[in-house]
Every structure is written in C-alpha cells, then in structure tokens.
Amino acid sequence: RPCPDLPAYSLSQEQKTKGLAMLKQVKAQVRDGVLSKLRTDYEEAESPTLKTAINRRARSIKRNWS
C-alpha cells in the first residue's frame, strides 16, 4: 500500500504482475548462468575436495534461488 502522500508511486495490478514475472525470469537467468559456470568448473576440477565444494555451492544455489 503506497504512502498516502505519494499516490503517484503506486503500481497498478498489471504493472505489479509484469514486474514480478520479469523478476522471476531474471532470477532464473542468473541462477542458470551461475550453475553453468559451476558445471564447467566441476568438470575441470581434479581435486575431490574442490569437486565437493563446487557441488555444495551448486546445491545451495538451487535451493536458495528456486
């Protein structure tokens, strides 16, 4: 609900819906980009410890950005 003295800053329901849809799309694009980079890093990693750390980070990103 906008402040009573700032009615010009309120958004219509259509604007809110469109904004939330765009936010969801951008969030998915960022998540996919980060996961893609982590997949590449995982494939190039030789150390099992490093692979475990990359895998842990990927799971965290999937959990927090879904």
User: Which tens digit of pLDDT belongs to each residue from 21-43?
Assistant: 999 999 999 999 999 999 999 99
In terms of residue numbers, what domain contains 34? 25-65
Q: How many domains does the chain have?
A: 1
Tokens coding 44:
């190039």
2, part of any domain? no
8, part of any domain? no
Give the pLDDT of residue 33. 96
Coil, strand or helix: which one is 6? coil
- The CA distance from 37 to 58, in Å, is 10
Give the pLDDT of residue 25. 95
Give the pLDDT of residue 30. 95
11, part of any domain? no
54, part of any domain? yes
